[in-house]
Chains A and B, each alone.
Chain A
Amino acid sequence: MSMTTEYAEMRSSGPRYWGLLLLLALVAAIGIGAAHHMDVEGHHITGMNNQIVWGLPHVFAIFLIVAASGALNLASLNSVFGKTEYKPLARFSAVLSIALLIGGLAILLLDLGRPDRLIVAITHYNFKSIFAWNIILYSGFVVIVLAYLWLMMERRLHRWSRPIGIFAFAWRLLLTTGTGSIFGFLAAREAYDTAVLAPMFIVMSFAFGLAVFVLLLLLSFRLDRRELDISHLQRLRRLLGIFIIGILYFVLLFHVTKLYAPQNHAFERFILLDGGVYSAMFWLVQIGLGSLLPLLLLYAPGLQQSVSSLVLACALTILGGFAQLYVIIVGGQAFPLDIFPGYRVDSSFFDGAVGAYSPSLWELLLGCGGVTVAALIALLGVRVLPILPRSLPPADAAQ
């Protein structure tokens, strides 16, 4: 067993903490304002249209939802896999996963054509719809992780935290499977229609969730001037590297499988070569800046003791994640449906044409609003509850 860790609420009350909180609240308020404007005016003020029906808000929302399930990993490593060295981070892991999920869901909800019909979404279920399953998976996740957090924090019930931790882990795997399958189940589009999207989203969640976790952990410790020894970050550094390699494996598998079937050649050509912004985003941002550069920063022998290299690697992983989701979601829709194979097609409804999309400011503000809502919940959570360890001294000294 590991040593007992002491947890404490964040005490920082200087202008650094409140200033940051105020800034986040301001951005969140602007995001809600943008959503309200979209609701009043209609979606014609966004870049989304009848060709690209899901745009930047969905990239933000799905990033946050995917990262949410991944952020729970640190807690699972302790409860499910018995890695007690992660135990001091487990509470924060649970808080962050709830925060990210709520931020993501807020964006999805506010982007609806009729956000006022939330009650309809809750009371009318079509159980054949993966979307409806996801509503249950997402709300169930919040309840389960809240219970998990409570059992971790309540000393008398602590022994129950392991079984519920295992349950939460199984649930989060289902949840990310559900998110990937939103696309995987779409048989009509070349860009989707493959079961590999579900495990790919799971590995993406591992990496994105961990990257967000490390950044917010460092931020919280820095804000409260608590001690965080680099030895606690080295394991996370290695994990992040493995997860990024995992994503690359699935991306390779996805494209090679598509390339093997002649009917998908046009689509692959679009994403990998001729797709303009989508091809550039795939190669330069997703693969170059978002995967290879972080791997270099994580594994370069000279940078092993550098916290900034880890911070930069996490930030780049997040950037790569956004690019990957943009290519999957927007790029996948931009490629035209092939309703008439063997024919060149032309119509007033943009049949046969690559869908045009340029995100509007409103969508960006809504997306940023969701991110700040998640950050606000996390930073308020660590202030009102004893979530973070008082200190994480060098691992060797503690033992």
Chain B
Amino acid sequence: MSSEFDSIEVRPARRRFIQGAAALAVTLIAPGILLYRTGAASSGDSSGPRWGLLIDTNALSEADVDACVQACQREHGWSHNDDSPTDAQWIRKVHLSDERSGAQKVLPMMCQHCADPPCVYVCPTGASFKRADGIVLVNKHTCIGCRYCMMACPYKARSFIHEVLRDQLPVAPRGKGTVESCTLCVHRIDRDGADAVPACAEAVNRGASKAILFGDLNDHESEISQRLQRLGATRLRADLGVDPGVRYQGL
């Protein structure tokens, strides 16, 4: 066997071809690996902001919550029919009545932007993802429409688009056959940073009274962190340990 190997002569043309192919492969693949590395490094950064909302249910009237929903619809170009089980709803008005006392509450419900989001864990393609700043989004280019994230979400926050859509807004790319949910008005955050105000908060906040307070949960000096330290708040389904970025007062 070894003599056969020994007898193979080195052909310069073939060697040049292999060298060339290897160089080409490195040129093509290396930038991808570098980009991938950079991407992985930035998503693991925990020292930056984590955006969240603090919702004071005592300060919200039914009309306020309606205003939240309408503001979100205008901002992102969605609408729904109350009787339609297939229409998307990024934010919804939820009525609560205490089973014992009968006490009434009304609150807005949307994606809770979990620190450990079940939707991101179960997504087969990685289309469901969490940004480094804690915002949970769907990549519309890689969502295959399997709806497993909707099975996994504890908050019923996601909607599947059941029909053809037209005239979508540039800030909210949406399309049939994919899943979507509240983006925390990511386009405003990317533009204004800590000074951003999501559309739902803008609709109900009047002057210094902020029924929906947006801010950085990682910054101990931020208004949202200060209010959380002073008054505390409820995490919905805290038993699941997903650490939602949206907190509720008055529940």
Contacts and interface: CB of A to CB of B under 8 A. Distances in A.
B125 A53 contact: no
Interface residues of B, number: 57
Given A49-B86, A53-B151, A343 B125 contact: no
Interface stretch (A113-121, A206-214, A235-243, A253-261): A113-121
Contacts of A126: 120, 123-126
Q: Which of B80, B127, B237 has the largest number of chain A CB atoms within 10 A?
A: B237
A342 B98 contact: yes
Interface in A29-56: 39, 41-44, 49-51, 53-54
Given A42-B164, A339-B237, A125 B126 contact: yes
Nearest to A119: B144
Contact of B152 (A117, A186, A346, A356): A186
Contact of B97 (A39, A343, A347, A348): A343
Contacts of A187: 118, 154, 240
B126 to A, nearest CB: 4
Given A117-B142, A120-B144, A347 B154 contact: no
A344 interface: yes
Interface in A321-356: 333, 337, 339-340, 342-351, 355-356
B80 to A, nearest CB: 7
Contacts of B142: 117, 120, 124
Given A44-B163, A132-B124, A339-B236, A54 B151 contact: yes
B205 interface: no
Contacts of B155: 337, 339
A349 B124 contact: no
A126 B151 CA distance: 17
A356 B83 CA distance: 12
Contact of B80 (A112, A186, A348): A348
B43 to A, nearest CB: 13
A130 interface: yes
Given A114-B178, A339-B237, A131 B99 contact: no
B126 A351 contact: no
Interface in B103-156: 105, 109, 118, 120-127, 141-148, 150-156
Contacts of B160: 43, 50, 53, 113
A121 B121 contact: no
A337 B156 contact: yes
Contacts of A348: 80, 82, 89, 92-93
B86 A43 contact: yes
7 smallest beta-carbon distances between A and B, as pairs: A113-B145, A113-B177, A188-B154, A49-B85, A131-B124, A44-B162, A126-B126
7 contacts: A41-B164, A51-B85, A112-B146, A113-B161, A117-B142, A131-B146, A188-B153
Given A114-B144, A188-B154, 5 more contacts: A42-B163, A114-B177, A124-B142, A339-B156, A356-B85
Interface of A: 39, 41-44, 49-51, 53-54, 112-115, 117-118, 120-121, 124-126, 128-132, 135, 182, 185-189, 333, 337, 339-340, 342-351, 355-356
